[in-house]
Amino acid sequence: MKRVALYSSSKRQRATPEIVAAEPQRAEPSEADGAPRAPGRIRSFLRRHQLLLGIAAGAVIASAVVLGQVALAPVQRALTQKDIDAAVLRTLETKPLPSRAAQAYDLIRGSVVRVRGLGGENEPDKDVERSVGTGVVILENGTILTNLHVVAGAKRLGVVFADGMEAEATIVGTKPEDDLAVIRTSSVPDDLVPATLRSTADLRLGDEVVAVGFPFGIGPSVSSGVISGLRREYRSPEGKRLLTNLIQFDAAANPGSSGGPLFTTDGEVVGIVTGILNPAKQAVFIGIGFAVPIENAASAAGVSPF
C-alpha cells in the first residue's frame, strides 16, 4: 500500500474535467481588458502568508506594550556616595559591629587553656585544684606555653581545654631566666588549633593588645589595653629573679592570669603574661603588667617561628 505523504513539494495540479464541468470557470479580467490585477495578488499574498503575518503583528503589539511600560516607569536615580554613606550609617546604628577585642578573642579562644595544679597521688582527693594559671597551645600535639611559677611545686598538672575536655600534663621544658615552662598534655581535642605567633619587632607604644586568662580562677576572662612600654625589667615579688626585655601593658591581669597569651587585635600572640607590678603587698592589678616576648617563649619550646 502506498504511503500517504504528510507534505508534498510538487506543484498544484490543474483541475480535472469533472471539476470544470461541475463548476464552470469564470473568465478573469486581464490587463488587456483594462481591469487592475493588484488587489487579487494582494489577497493571494495575504492568504499564503497569513500565519507569518499574524506572528509579526503579535510581536509588534508586544513590543509596543513593553515600550509603553518603560516609558511610563519612573526614572531610577543614580546612587551617590552620600546615599551609600547613609546606608552604612543606618546599618551600624541598627547592627553594631563587635569590638576589635571581641574579634581577636574569637580567633584565639580555642588555643587558651586552664592550667591546674592538682593534689598528689597519695592525697585523699588527688584531683583537687590547688592552684590555677593559664596557658596557650602552640603545637597540635598539645604543647603549651605557661609560666614556670604556675607549675612549680605542683605534684600533678591538669589542663582544661576550651571545649571542656580535661587531660593530664607533664613538664617538658623550662626557661627559668624568663619564668617560662613548656608542658604537654596526654591527649588533645580532635579540633585543637594552635595559636598564631607574631614577632614583636614591629610593636609600638600605644598598639592595642588583649589579654585572656583565669584571674583568681574566674574565666576565661578577657581584657584589653595598649602596650605601655618595651624592654622593661621586673623583679619577682620574692626578689629571687630579675626578668628583662619585657613588654609592659595595661590590660587587666591578676593572679591566675599568669601564663596566658598577650595578643594583638589580629589574634596573634606577642607575649606570655608573667607578672604585675604593685608596690603594695596585695597581689592585685593597678595598671602595670608584664609579658615575656614571644620570641623568648618560643625558643623555650624549641620553636622558632620567625
Residues composing the chain: 306
Annotated active-site residue 179? The verdict is yes
From the candidates 149, 178, 228, 257, give the one annotated as an active-site residue: 149
End-to-end CA distance of the chain: 93
DSSP 3-state of 77: coil
Q: Is the dihedral of CA 82, 84, 86, 88 positive or negative?
A: negative
Contact 186, 251 (CB under 8 A): no
From the candidates 131, 223, 228, 258, give the one annotated as an active-site residue: 258
Contact 142, 185 (CB under 8 A): yes
Collect all residues with Cβ–Cβ distance below 8 Å to 234 and sequence separation of at least 6. 242, 243, 246, 274, 275, 277, 290
From the candidates 111, 131, 178, 179, give the one annotated as an active-site residue: 179
- The DSSP line for 193-252 is -PPEE--STT--TT-EEEEEE-GGG--SEEEEEEEEEEEEEEE-TTSS-EEEEEEEE-S-
Q: Which residues are catalytic?
A: 149, 179, 258
